[in-house]
Structure 1
Amino acid sequence: MKKVMIFDFDYTLGDSTKGIIASINFALEKMNLKPAPEDRIVKTVGLSLEEIYEVLTGRSDSGEMETFKQYFREKADEVMVNNTKLYGGIKEMLEQVHSKGRKTAIVTTKYHYRIKQILAAHQMEHLIDSIIGVEDVKKPKPDPEGVWNIKEQFGVSLEDILYVGDSLVDAKTAQGAGVDFIAVLTGTTVAEDFQEYPYLKILNSAAELGSQKEAML
């Protein structure tokens, strides 16, 4: 049985789409750029803010990216927590994982403090043992640094870790880190897209990890 379960956040444990869209378009408008269509923004969820800016604008100037990040964070501080919902059964799943004596962690391209705010809003701080946010690493996912940081924190082997995520960024992260991966279909990535990456299972939702069958992983 795995000793540590690492989760992505967006589209894996919860949905912040409304807050992300508002924050991205606020930042673009402050920079006198056109707001991006919602369907294009949704496809960028899980990328770093620098990558999101480049994908949506086709621009790669580092100074512009920093400005974009500042405006994004300004708006996100107002709207993100109240516009984030957890998927059904997630809290109960994490409670069951903890009851088995496992450690839990979140590795995300969100800010560390934002995840703490969201967990606090849902009375779930006690269910996540460690958070690696985008500001805690030199390189964001799919770089494996965040997963390896968790490995060192808990003093476990790579074989003891299970990574759960919804996107190809997550699949690449797990592959690069050398840990087992479970894909979930609560995001925008369909099952067929995961086929070129190693995975243990593809589940409809991370909440299914709380079932008796999946608890043996």
Structure 2
Amino acid sequence: MPDYEWLLFDLDGTLSDPAEGFVNSMNHALVSHDYPARPASELTTYIGPPLEVTMGNLTGSKDSKRIRSLVDKYRERYSETGYAENSLYPGIADTLEHLSQTDGVRLGVCTSKRADFAKRILERFSLLHYFEFVSGGDVGIAKWQQLQGLLADRTISRRSLMIGDRHFDLSAAAKNALPSAGVLWGYGSREELTEHGPAHLFTRPVEIRDLFEHKQ
């Protein structure tokens, strides 16, 4: 049985599926800046990275002010309706409830999404109370820097497992010498995740709680 004190969860693609709100808010931002709307099948491949990275990739712009304006426009719609266009992955609620009752296991969220948006989503699904903290990102802040900060202020210990669906989650953990786990129900492929050497690959949420089946 692994000796983890903290389980750190990504949000988008790990706890919940943000596709509808992400696509609608992204196209709202693009169209408002005279870029063409993109099909959902194209946009969902961008779920996970920081918004400023996605905006730069989609528009080809390197103008920081324009990219900030695009991000602000995305968040304008997301804060009104996009956050609610979100669905919880099957098995997540039961898994978090089980983990919250497991001795010696503590739960946190580390997401590139702004913290206030993340908390609203977690509250909507009645999940927020399972987590001791929610670390959110903002423009110019990478996930590895979020983890670095959590370690520096001793919010988390080195016995922490970062759980996410994209290589950004796994590489952020590696950069801080922390173990990671990939989930295969999100937006990252098995190939993308295995390339970054995760300690675990989960195909169903119940497999996370099974790590601690003898710790009750």
**Given the two structures, how large is their TM-score scaled by the length of structure 1?**
0.90
Mapped partners of 1:84, 1:125: distance in 2: 15
Cα deviations by residue, 1:88-134 (Å, 9 ceiling, x for unpaired): 11111111211124221111111100111111111222101111111
Number of matched pairs: 212
Partner of 2:84: 82
**Given the two structures, how large is their TM-score scaled by the length of structure 2?**
0.90
Partner of 1:52: 54
| Offset, 1:192 | 2.4
| Offset, 1:202 | 0.9
| Offset, 1:206 | 3.3
Q: Note if contact 1:94-1:127 (Cα within 8 Å) is conserved in structure 2.
A: yes
Q: 1:74 to 1:138 in 2, by over 3 A?
A: closer
Q: Where has structure 1 moved over 6 Å in runs of 4 or more? A: none
Q: 1:129 to 1:156 in 2, by over 3 A?
A: closer
Mapped partners of 2:26, 2:214: distance in 1: 40
Paired residue secondary structure (2:109)? strand
Query: Unaligned 5+ residue runs, structure 2?
Result: none
Partner of 1:16: 18
Paired residue secondary structure (1:104)? strand
Q: Note if contact 1:44-1:52 (Cα within 8 Å) is conserved in structure 2.
A: yes
Partner of 1:194: 193
Q: 1:108 to 1:30 in 2, by over 3 A?
A: same
Q: 1:58 to 1:215 in 2, by over 3 A?
A: farther
Q: Note if contact 2:5-2:157 (Cα within 8 Å) is conserved in structure 1.
A: no
Query: Unaligned 5+ residue runs, structure 1?
Result: none
Mapped partners of 1:13, 1:200: distance in 2: 19
| Offset, 1:149 | 2.8
Cα deviations by residue, 1:133-186 (Å, 9 ceiling, x for unpaired): 113x85222xx221233334555532x101101111111111111111111101
Partner of 1:169: 168
Paired residue secondary structure (1:75)? helix
Q: Does 1:4 align with 2:6?
A: yes
Q: Percent identity among equivalent residues? A: 24
Partner of 1:145: 145
| Offset, 1:27 | 0.6
Partner of 1:208: 207
Partner of 2:107: 104
Give, as a single letter, the amino acid of the residue that structure 1 aligns with 2:107: T
Q: Does 1:116 align with 2:119?
A: yes
Paired residue secondary structure (2:122)? helix
Paired residue secondary structure (2:83)? coil
Q: Note if contact 1:208-1:214 (Cα within 8 Å) is conserved in structure 2.
A: no
| Offset, 1:80 | 2.2
